[in-house]
């Protein structure tokens, strides 16, 4: 039996099935990320695990215990909220020690645990400050510290970085990664940002409309998406999707395996821009984005848009004529219903 | 950046309206220190020799301390009782909203739109049947119930400002309902509780209609005492003013020192 299991979990809001029959096994020490577009049910699922939402069908098993009907405080979980949810009238020390005080832990032990967590998170100088005297990043670390001191069996993170600016987000992401390595704690992390999912997760669970689309290691999802939705959701920019009839010459590359009503997928790095007159298809440049390390070239080929990624700089400009070459080894074939074509 | 003349105009207008609002109270205070003859002079005199004879007469005629005590008891007890009922009601509406919450709040508020006289007969009969006429109990019950809609509304607005996630965090930390209220809700809602309590204390202290109709010698409040100065011979303006000044002085002083909290309570939710 896995350390933490979701068994047939469902949630209904009236006639609407917000979460539909989810089964998942999480091993001890694993970092699992729930990712998906807004409204896919990832936060609802996390809140159900936390006990903040009721569960209609199914069970949660944690370390051999059925925690389905247990109140939140007894589940041995700790949650880091998107808005930090710090107690504004308490100091950082009191915020971090609140749960321990309620549990009747001795003052010396509380001090020891809080100071240790503060040391790990570089919060030592701020223990007597209130949340309003802290920056966004510091508040986030206090929220994490509040979870750490409880030494729970599972950490739950609900989009903890979404309120931070881009630079701080990257920095805090690295801190969370290092923290996980240091503590070895089982973690379930919810985000809509697939970059966070790809960089933090041992395994990623892609959700859509309350159901699991695919579960796997980040690169496995990137290289072998199970369907068109996962293929387009994972990867930035999204995978290029070409309906079968859009560019017949490209469909011919698939050796007849592409269904007539299917679609062909190719990642931007699988599209090579060559001089006009060469390549499989002729196109016109519509936009060039020079990102520094990479260059993205958007092209228009017979009414179909594609994006190519290359590491070299380019002098191409909007309106230039170019050729496109696709690498057949990295093509993905999808049926009319979006599922990947199997051999 | 406004032009200076506009700022000056606004200042003058603000002073004008302030003095206009203050005028009745100021006139009352002046009249309380005049003789009856000076009080009814036309044109009135602004300069005169103040006298304390009206206050002496008020103290001689009425047991001011008893009326003041009754006002204090009814105001304080009805406020505390009201807070004890309104706070849990507001908590459940703020944090466990349903699609009927708004309708319920509007219905509560709608009861304040009915003139009190509309409920006079049934309330009087109820008090009489229960043997509560001329008793502090009847006044406390009526004051509590009549202020309850306002208290619930004000506390609801105050509690809505507390993010629900903080309470969820408290639950995850192991807080029961009681510890959640004690350690999280109460400290954060203290300002709202104070403003609500203060406002209802003032409303209860100034309440005259129910005091006049449900009380008499034993449980009369300061409002009742003031009304007793209206006699068949006419109104003794100077004494009436002195009695009124005695009645309002405590609550005006109280309001002066707590004006910050009162204004905060009155402007809750005005700007989001």
Q: Is residue B33 part of a domain?
A: no
Report pLDDT for B271.
45
Q: Is the pLDDT at B153 greater than 70, yes or no?
A: yes
Q: Is residue A272 part of a domain?
A: yes
Which DSSP string do the residues of A62-81 spell out, in sequence order? Answer: ETTEE-TTS-GGGS-EEEE-
CA distance B155 to chain A (A): 19
Q: Is residue A340 part of a domain?
A: no
| Selection from B185, B227, B234, B186 nearest residue B208 by Cα | B227
Q: Is the pLDDT at B241 greater than 80, yes or no?
A: yes
Distance from C-alpha of A276 to C-alpha of A282, rounded to nearest angstrom: 7
Q: What is the CA radius of gyration of chain A?
A: 24
CA distance A78 to chain B (A): 7
CB contact (8 A) between residue B171 and residue A98: no
Q: What is the ipTM for the molecules in this complex?
A: 0.83
Q: Is residue B134 part of a domain?
A: yes
Q: Is residue A341 part of a domain?
A: no
What is the residue whose two structure tokens read 């959640």? B180
CB contact (8 A) between residue A81 and residue B171: no
What are the tens digits of pLDDT across the range A91-130?
A: 999 999 999 999 999 999 999 999 999 998 889 999 999 9
What would the mean pLDDT of A147-167 be, rounded to a whole number?
Answer: 90
Q: Which two tokens stand for residue A74?
A: 């007894």
Q: Is residue A20 part of a domain?
A: yes
Q: Are residues A250 and A183 in the same domain?
A: no
Here the CATH number for the domain that contains residue A115 is 3.40.50.300
Distance of CA A241 to the CA centre of its chain: 22
Q: Are residues A159 and A43 in the same domain?
A: yes
Q: Is residue B238 part of a domain?
A: no
Q: Which two tokens stand for residue B114?
A: 């009915």
- Write down the number of H helices and E strands in chain B: 14, 2
What are the tens digits of pLDDT across the range B60-116?
A: 877 888 898 999 999 999 999 999 999 999 999 999 989 999 999 999 989 888 898
Q: What is the mean pLDDT of chain A?
A: 91
CB contact (8 A) between residue A102 and residue B163: no
Residues 202-261 of B with CB under 8 A from A: none
What are the tens digits of pLDDT across the range B190-205?
A: 888 988 998 899 999 9
The stretches of chain A forming alpha helices (DSSP H) are 42-50, 92-102, 107-120, 136-148, 166-183, 194-200, 218-223, 228-233, 248-251
CB contact (8 A) between residue A73 and residue B171: yes
Q: Which residues of B touch A103 (CB under 8 A)?
A: 174
Domain that holds residue A202: 4-228
Q: Is residue B45 part of a domain?
A: no
> Which residue of chain B comes nearest to A156, CA vs CA?
B172
The residue from A171, A193, A228 where one domain ends is A228
Mutate which of A47, A52, A97 to test chain B, going by most B C-beta atoms within 10 A? A52
Q: Are residues A75 and A193 in the same domain?
A: yes
Q: Are residues A106 and A44 in the same domain?
A: yes
Here the CATH number for the domain that contains residue B123 is 1.10.3720.10
Q: Are residues A137 and A242 in the same domain?
A: no
| % residues pLDDT > 70 (chain A) | 99
Q: Are residues A303 and A321 in the same domain?
A: yes
Q: Are residues A224 and A284 in the same domain?
A: no
Which DSSP string do the residues of B187-212 spell out, in sequence order? Answer: HHHHHHHHHHHHHHHHHHHH--HHHH
Total tally of structural domains belonging to chain B: 1
Q: How many CB atoms lie within 10 A of CB B223?
A: 22
Q: Is residue B141 part of a domain?
A: yes
Q: How confident is the model at residue A205 (pLDDT cuts 50, 70, 90)?
A: very high
Q: Which residues contact A305 (CB under 8 A, 6 or more apart)?
A: A240, A286, A298, A299
What is the residue whose two structure tokens read 């930035």? A236
The residue from A199, A228, A257 where one domain ends is A228
| A199-213, A236-250, B212-226: range with lowest mean pLDDT | A236-250
CB of B187 less than 8 A from some CB of A: yes
Q: Is the pLDDT at B270 greater than 50, yes or no?
A: no
CA distance B258 to chain A (A): 22
Which DSSP string do the residues of A130-174 spell out, in sequence order? Answer: -GGGS-HHHHHHHHHHHHHTT--SEEEEESTTTTS-HHHHHHHHH
Total tally of structural domains belonging to chain A: 2
Distance of CA B155 to the CA centre of its chain: 16
Q: Is the pLDDT at A183 greater than 90, yes or no?
A: no
The residue from A202, A228, A254 where one domain ends is A228
* Residue B244 buriedness (CB in 10 A; 0-12 / 13-18 / 19+): buried
Report pLDDT for B272.
39
Q: Are residues A214 and A290 in the same domain?
A: no
Q: Is residue A233 part of a domain?
A: no
What are the tens digits of pLDDT across the range A61-92?
A: 999 999 999 999 899 999 999 999 999 999 99
CB of B266 less than 8 A from some CB of A: no
Q: Is residue A342 part of a domain?
A: no
3-state DSSP assignment of residue A38? coil
Q: Are residues A194 and A322 in the same domain?
A: no
Domain that holds residue B217: 64-231+250-266
CB contact (8 A) between residue B169 and residue A81: yes
- Residues of A in CB contact (< 8 Å) with B are 50-52, 71-73, 77-79, 81-83, 85-89, 98-99, 102-103, 146, 150
Asked if residue B189 lies in contact with residue B159, where contact means CB atoms within 8 angstroms, the answer is yes
Q: Are residues A52 and A162 in the same domain?
A: yes
Q: Are residues A277 and A215 in the same domain?
A: no
Distance of CA B184 to the CA centre of its chain: 28
CB of B165 less than 8 A from some CB of A: yes
């Amino acid at each position: 039996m896995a350390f933490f299991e979701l068994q047939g979990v469902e949630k209904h809001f009236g006639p609407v099935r917000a979460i539909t029959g989810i089964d998942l096994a999480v091993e001890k020490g694993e970092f699992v990320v729930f990712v998906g577009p807004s409204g896919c049910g990832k936060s609802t699922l996390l809140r159900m695990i936390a006990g903040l939402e009721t569960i209609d069908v199914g069970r949660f098993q944690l370390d051999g215990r059925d925690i389905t009907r247990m109140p939140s405080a007894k589940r041995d979980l700790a949650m880091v909220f998107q808005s930090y949810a710090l107690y504004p009238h308490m100091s950082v020390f009191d915020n971090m020690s609140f749960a321990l005080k309620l549990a009747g832990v001795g003052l010396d032990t509380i001090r020891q645990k809080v100071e240790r967590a503060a040391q790990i998170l570089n919060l030592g100088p701020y223990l007597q400050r209130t949340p309003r005297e802290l920056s966004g990043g510091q508040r986030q670390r206090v929220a994490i510290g509040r979870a750490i001191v409880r030494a729970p069996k599972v950490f739950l993170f609900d989009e903890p970085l979404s309120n931070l600016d881009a630079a701080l987000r990257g920095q805090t992401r690295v801190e969370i990664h290092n923290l996980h390595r240091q503590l070895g704690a089982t973690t379930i992390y919810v985000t809509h940002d697939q970059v966070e999912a790809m960089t933090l997760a041992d395994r990623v669970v892609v959700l859509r409309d309350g159901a699991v689309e695919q579960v796997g290691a980040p690169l496995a999802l990137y290289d072998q998406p199970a369907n068109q939705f996962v293929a387009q959701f994972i990867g930035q920019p999204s995978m290029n999707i070409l309906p079968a009839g859009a560019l017949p010459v490209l469909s011919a590359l698939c050796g007849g395996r592409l269904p007539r009503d299917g679609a062909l997928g190719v990642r931007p790095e699988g599209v090579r821009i060559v001089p006009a007159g060469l390549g499989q298809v002729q196109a016109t440049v519509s936009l060039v984005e020079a990102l520094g390390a990479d260059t993205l070239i958007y092209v228009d080929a017979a009414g179909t848009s594609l994006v190519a990624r290359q590491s070299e700089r380019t002098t191409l400009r909007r309106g230039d004529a170019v050729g496109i070459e696709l690498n057949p080894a990295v093509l993905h074939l999808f049926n009319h219903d979006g599922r990947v074509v199997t051999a | 950046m406004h032009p200076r003349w506009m700022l000056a105009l606004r200042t003058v207008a603000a002073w004008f309206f302030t003095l206009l609002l203050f005028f009745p109270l100021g006139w009352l205070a002046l009249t309380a220190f005049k003789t009856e003859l000076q009080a009814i002079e036309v044109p009135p005199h602004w300069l005169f020799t103040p006298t304390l004879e009206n206050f002496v007469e008020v103290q001689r005629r009425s047991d001011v301390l008893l009326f003041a005590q009754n006002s204090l008891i009814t105001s304080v007890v009805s406020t505390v009782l009201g807070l004890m009922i309104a706070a849990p009601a507001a908590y459940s509406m703020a944090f466990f909203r349903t699609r009927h919450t708004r309708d319920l709040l509007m219905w509560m508020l709608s009861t304040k739109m009915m003139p009190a006289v509309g409920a006079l007969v049934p309330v009087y009969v109820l008090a009489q049947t229960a043997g509560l006429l001329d008793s502090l109990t009847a006044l406390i019950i009526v004051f509590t119930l009549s202020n309850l809609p306002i208290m619930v509304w004000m506390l609801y607005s105050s509690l809505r400002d507390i993010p629900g996630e903080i309470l969820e965090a408290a639950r995850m930390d192991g807080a029961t309902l009681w510890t959640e209220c004690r350690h999280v809700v109460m400290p954060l809602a203290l300002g709202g509780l104070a403003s609500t309590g203060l406002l209802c204390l003032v409303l209860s202290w100034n309440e005259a209609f129910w005091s006049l109709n449900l009380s008499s010698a034993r449980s009369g409040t300061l409002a009742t005492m003031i009304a007793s100065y209206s006699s068949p011979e006419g109104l003794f303006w100077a004494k009436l003013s002195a009695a009124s000044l005695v009645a309002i002085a405590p609550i005006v002083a109280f309001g002066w020192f707590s004006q910050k909290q009162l204004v905060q309570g009155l402007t809750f939710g005005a700007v989001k």
